[in-house]
Amino acid sequence: MDADVIVVGSGFGGSVCALRAAEAGLRVVVLERGRRMDDAAYEKLADGRLPLINRREQPGLFDIKMQHGLATAGGCAVGGGSHVYTAVTMPAPDEVFANDWPAALTVGRMRELYERAERVLRPTPLAEIPSRTRRMQEIGERMAAPAVVLPLVVEKRGHNDHASPSTLRGHIATWLRGGPGYRKRTLDMSYLAQAERAGTRVLPLHEALSITPIAGGYRVRLRQLVDDDWREGELTARKVVLAAGTMNTVPFLVRCRDIYATLPAISAALGERFYTNGDFGAAVAGFSLDIDRDDGPPVTSWIDCWNTDRLFLMETGAFLGGRVWSIAVMGFDDSPGRLSLDERGRLQHHSAGPSPAFHAARMRRLREFAAAAGGALIAPPAFATRTKPATVHPLGGARMADRAELGVVDANGEMFGYPGLYVADGSILPTPTGVAPSMTIAALAEHVSEHLVSHA
């Protein structure tokens, strides 16, 4: 075997498993289709020498997927979604775990796992809040809902940190790195850095194509970018952890089951119970509040409507001369969708749309927000919401369950029917999280890793 453990993908799930397996003394290889995004790579991204959008032939940082009935965005880099996320890193509310989660994942167990993830990720609320955060507090008072200063994985920027040029691409690079005055701590500075120090080999620009069981383990077929040329190869290991992110893991497994027939026994539950985490975007135009320009991170706070409506309204900065304020909504919309591949291998999303009660609540809360801010609400029309949901938090589709007929992986993240083959990313979540999900994905990967190393 080339390794004890191959981890496919280096986002929140993959980097946790890589660290814990390497700490246990296992030989770990991480395959990551994206690039290493160090200072030099961000400079190239800012001036156009590296692509912003991921393409099949040329890896780029943002993985945008526009499939039938759904638009999603994610990350493609060493460190996965941590390079594109806005750094909000927090546990899900206790009620999320009340139904549909494996019996072993009690609230107490999840707290223990969150603490483990927190010690490495170190999220903290901003010490100095900008004026937009204070305006959120005023809006919260008018809406009778608390404004929360969010825990972020960022730190104040040092004097020597590189500044991006003031072009559109330069601004995007600055935004991605945590804003003009802050630096985001991406996973390649936390979990993955520790994993590499413990001996993990991270192979960027390596994309896994399929997984096949072999005697004593698995073979991973892959392609590797060498001098602008993709070359095929393979690696073997006793165990494999698939952590390619929901929108990659689910189609990857469907191809292994239905097209290549290398994993024919994967559960019929694959693709079912896919969630968009209630994601919705809107903006408030012409608001009457004074918001000063600031050098803060992309987001700082949200209005917490969890107790009444199971949702949050998050500010994501003002633009167009400070007259339009963009607001992201997320929440516990547990109306499930289904992912599948069509006859040409293209991803399809099937859903009856958001839960009507949840959608009505988020529209009512957005109207209240706009009124409290003294502006006009701009929101997508209802038919678009029903037929073309967009999400940056795709979850589920390869869910964990106590019984094979209900899920794709068991309560330890190991695939039913395939011992030693694990899934550890957003796809295994049995329900949405309501809040931003990265910390729950990391916590679950801590749980999966325990089984991975104890049965090695």
Ligand X SMILES: Cc1cc2nc3c(=O)[nH]c(=O)nc-3n(C[C@H](O)[C@H](O)[C@H](O)COP(=O)(O)OP(=O)(O)OC[C@H]3O[C@@H](n4cnc5c(N)ncnc54)[C@H](O)[C@@H]3O)c2cc1C
Binding site for ligand X (CB under 6 A): 8-14, 31-34, 73-77, 80-81, 84-89, 207-208, 243-246, 248, 252, 392-393, 425-426, 436-438, 441
Q: What is the DSSP letter of 158?
A: P
- Distances from the Cα of 93 to the Cαs of 161, 342, 427, 433, in angstroms? 36, 36, 19, 8
Tokens 């516990």 belong to residue: 332
Residue 200 to residue 454: CA distance in whole angstroms: 18
Residue 90 to residue 88: CA distance in whole angstroms: 7
Considering the complex, state which of residue 76 and residue 305 has its C-beta at the smaller distance from ligand X: 76
Tokens 């940056």 belong to residue: 392
Considering the complex, state which of residue 62 and residue 371 has its C-beta at the smaller distance from ligand X: 62
The least distance separating ligand X from the CB of residue 416, rounded to whole angstroms, comes to 20
Q: 449: how many CB neighbours lie within 10 A of its CB?
A: 26
Q: From 240, 290, 256, 251, select the one nearest 274 (Cα to Cα).
A: 251
The least distance separating ligand X from the CB of residue 371, rounded to whole angstroms, comes to 26
The least distance separating ligand X from the CB of residue 268, rounded to whole angstroms, comes to 23
Considering the complex, state which of residue 78 and residue 370 has its C-beta at the smaller distance from ligand X: 78
The token pair that represents 132 in the structure block: 């937009």
Considering the complex, state which of residue 132 and residue 372 has its C-beta at the smaller distance from ligand X: 132
The least distance separating ligand X from the CB of residue 356, rounded to whole angstroms, comes to 26
Residue 127 to residue 85: CA distance in whole angstroms: 20
The least distance separating ligand X from the CB of residue 78, rounded to whole angstroms, comes to 7
Considering the complex, state which of residue 150 and residue 453 has its C-beta at the smaller distance from ligand X: 150
Considering the complex, state which of residue 256 and residue 361 has its C-beta at the smaller distance from ligand X: 256
The least distance separating ligand X from the CB of residue 144, rounded to whole angstroms, comes to 25
Q: 115: how many CB neighbours lie within 10 A of its CB?
A: 12
Is residue 337 within 8 A of residue 276, CB to CB? The reply is yes
Q: What is the DSSP letter of 399?
A: -
